[in-house]
Chain A
Amino acid sequence: MDSALFVHRLHFAFTATFHYLFPQLTMGLALLIVVLKTIGLRRNDHIYHEAARFWGKIFGINFVLGVVTGIPMEFQFGTNWSHFSRFAGGVIGQTLAMEGMFAFFLESAFLGLFLYGEKRLSPKAHWLSAVAVFLGSWLSGYFIIATDAFMQHPVGYFTAADGSLQLASFWDFVLNPWAGWQYAHNMSGAAITGAFIMTSVGAFYLLSGKWTAHARIFVKAGVIAGCLFSALQIFPTGDRQGKMVTDLQPVTLAAMEGLFQGQSGAPLVILGQPNDQQGKIDNPVEVPGMLSMLTYQRWNAHVRGLDAFPKHDWPDNIPLLYYSYHIMVGLGTFFIVVMVVALLLLWRGKLFNARWMLWILMLAAPFPYIANTAGWMTAELGRQPWLVYGLMRTENGYSTAVSAGNGMFTLLGFMGIYMVLGILFLFLVRREIEHGPVAGHESVSSLHPATVAR
Chain B
Amino acid sequence: MASLWFWIVAAMVATYVVLDGFDLGAGAIYLVAAKTNEERRRVLRAIGPVWDGNEVWLLAAGGTLYFAFPQLYASSFSGFYLPLTIVLWLLILRGIGIEFRAHIENPVWQDFFDVIFSISSILLAVFFGAALGNVVRGVPLDATGYFFEPLWTNFKLGPHTGILDWYTVFTGVMALVTLTAHGSYYVALKTDEDLGQRARGLALLCWPVQFFLTFTALVATYFIRPEIMANYGRHPVGILVPIVVVASLAVMLWANPKGKGKLAFVASSLYIAFMLVGAAFALYPVVLPARDHQYDLTIYNTAAGSHGLSVGLVWWTLGAVLAVAYFTFVYRMFRGKVQLGEGHY
Q: How long is the Cα–Cα vector from A413 to B86 in the complex, in angstroms?
A: 9
Of B241-249, B283-291, B315-323, the segment with at least 4 beta carbons within 8 Å of chain A is B315-323
Given contacts A78-B66, A101-B60, A119-B342, contact A93 B326 (CB under 8 A): no
A90 and B63 in contact, given A82-B146, A85-B77 (Cβ under 8 angstroms): no
Of B22-30, B162-170, B216-224, B300-308, which stretch is located at the interface? B300-308
Contacts of A120 in B (CB 8 A): 333
Tell me whether B293 is interfacial, beta carbon within 8 Å. Answer: no
Indicate whether B49 reaches chain A with its CB closer than 8 angstroms: yes
Cβ-defined contact, A410 with B327, below 8 A:
no
**B53 touching A100, Cβ below 8 Å:** no
In the complex, B232 has a CB within 8 A of chain A: no
**How far, in Å, is A227 (CB) from chain B's closest CB?**
33
Are A428 and B103 closer than 8 Å at their CB atoms? yes
| B74 close to A112 (CB less than 8 A) | no
B290 to chain A, nearest CB (A): 14
Quick check: is A264 within 8 A (CB to CB) of the other chain? no
Note all chain A residues with C-beta closer than 8 A to B305: 90, 160, 166-167
| Contact between B96 and A64, CB atoms less than 8 A apart | yes
Do residues A406 and B77 form an inter-chain contact, with CB atoms below 8 A?
A: no
Residues of chain B from 308 to 345 with CB closer than 8 A to chain A in the complex: 308, 311-312, 315-316, 319-320, 322-323, 326-327, 329-330, 333-334, 342-344
Query: What residues on B are CB-neighbors of A109 within 8 Å?
Result: 53, 323, 326-327, 329-330
Cross-chain contact B81 with A399 (CB below 8 angstroms): yes
A402/B63 contact (C-beta < 8 A), A69-B92, A105-B53, A109-B330 known: no
- Which residues of chain A from 33 to 70 have a CB within 8 Å of any chain B CB? 60-61, 64-65, 67-69
A27 to B320, CA, bound (A): 24
Partner of B63, one of A100, A115, A117, A431: A100
Q: For the complex, would chain B's binding face be called helix, strand, loop or mixed by DSSP majority?
A: helix
In the complex the two chains form, what is the Cα distance from A204 to B196 in whole Å? 47
Confirm or deny: B82 has a beta carbon within 8 angstroms of a beta carbon on chain A: yes
Tell me which residues across on chain A come within 8 A of B100, comparing CB atoms. 61, 64, 424, 428
Neighbouring A residues of B73 by C-beta, 8 Å: 77-78, 85, 89, 93
Residue on A nearest B311 in the bound complex, by CB: A170
Q: Of B56, B62, B319, which contacts A75 at CB under 8 A?
A: B62
Given contacts A85-B70, A431-B103, contact A100 B62 (CB under 8 A): yes
List B residues 36-94 near A (Cβ within 8 Å). Answer: 48-50, 52-53, 55-56, 58-64, 66-68, 70-71, 73-82, 84-85, 88-89, 91-93
Complex interface bits, A60-98 against B, C-beta within 8 A gives 1, otherwise 0: 110011011101101101111011011011110110111
A280 CB to nearest B CB, Å: 42
Assuming the contacts A74-B63, A78-B78, A105-B326, asked whether A100 and B56 have C-beta atoms less than 8 A apart, the reply is yes
User: Which of chain B's residues have a CB closer than 8 A to the CB of A100?
Assistant: 56, 59-64
B52 touches A112 (CB 8 A): yes
Q: Say yes or no for B147: interface residue by CB 8 A criterion.
A: yes
Contacts of A61 in B (CB 8 A): 99-100, 103
For B78, what are the chain A residues with a Cβ–Cβ distance below 8 Å? 78-80, 82, 399, 401-402
A117–B343 alpha-carbon span in the complex (Å): 8
A96-B63, A115-B344 known; A105 vs B323 contact (CB < 8 Å): yes
> When chains A and B are docked, how far (Å) is the Cα of A209 from the Cα of B308?
59
- Proximity bits, B93-135, A CB within 8 Å = 1, else 0: 1011001100110000000000000000000000000000000
Known: A100-B56, A119-B342, A167-B307. Contact between A79 and B322, CB under 8 A? Answer: no
Q: Name the residue of chain B whose CB is nearest to the CB of A167.
A: B308
B148 located at the interface, meaning its Cβ lies under 8 Å from any Cβ of chain A in the complex: yes
State whether A110 touches B326 (Cβ < 8 A): yes
Q: In the bound complex, how far is the Cα of B323 from the Cα of A46, in angstroms?
A: 33
Residues from chain B with Cβ under 8 Å of A102 in the complex: 315, 319, 322
Given contacts A399-B78, A399-B81, are A108 and B56 in contact (CB under 8 A)? yes
Does A453 belong to the interface (CB within 8 Å)? no
State whether A410 touches B70 (Cβ < 8 A). no
Are A93 and B68 in contact (CB-based, < 8 A)?
A: yes
Enumerate chain B residues within 8 angstroms of A271, measured Cβ to Cβ: none
Q: How far is the CB of B103 from chain A (nearest CB, A)?
A: 5
Q: How far is the CA of A98 from the CA of B311 in the complex (A)?
A: 12
A207 to B37: give the CA distance in the assembly, Å: 39
- Contacting pair B85 A97 (CB below 8 A): no
Q: How far is the CB of B326 from chain A (nearest CB, A)?
A: 4
Contact B56 A89 (CB under 8 A): no
Residue contact B67 to A104, C-beta cutoff 8 Å: no
Which of A71, A91, A98, A167 meets B88, CB within 8 Å? A71
> Which of the residues B63, B79, B99, B312 comes within 8 Å of A401, measured between beta carbons?
B79
Which A residue's beta carbon lies closest to that of B344?
A116
A255 interface residue (CB < 8 Å to B): no
Bound complex: CA of A75 vs CA of B63, how far in Å?
9
What residues of chain A lie closer than 8 Å to B308, measured between beta carbons?
90-91, 93-94, 166-167
State in angstroms the CA–CA spacing of A94 and B313 once bound together: 11
User: Is B52 touching A75 in the complex (CB atoms < 8 A)?
Assistant: no
Bound CA span A207–B85, Å: 45
Verify B319–A85 contact, CB threshold 8 A: no
Chain B contacts for A112, CB-based, 8 A: 48-50, 52-53, 330, 334
Task: List, sorted by A's number, 15 A–B pairs whose CB atoms are closer than 8 Å.
Answer: A61-B99, A74-B62, A77-B66, A78-B77, A88-B70, A93-B63, A98-B63, A98-B315, A104-B59, A105-B56, A105-B323, A105-B327, A115-B344, A167-B311, A417-B93
Interface residues of A (CB under 8 A from B): 60-61, 64-65, 67-69, 71-72, 74-75, 77-80, 82-83, 85-86, 88-91, 93-94, 96-102, 104-106, 108-113, 115-117, 119-120, 160, 164, 166-168, 170, 399-403, 406, 409-410, 413-414, 417, 421, 424, 428, 431
Closest 7 pairs between A and B when the two form their complex, measured CB to CB: A89-B70, A78-B77, A101-B319, A93-B67, A166-B305, A100-B60, A109-B326
| 5 other A-B residue contacts (CB within 8 Å) besides A61-B99, A109-B329, A410-B81 | A97-B66, A97-B68, A102-B319, A112-B334, A113-B333
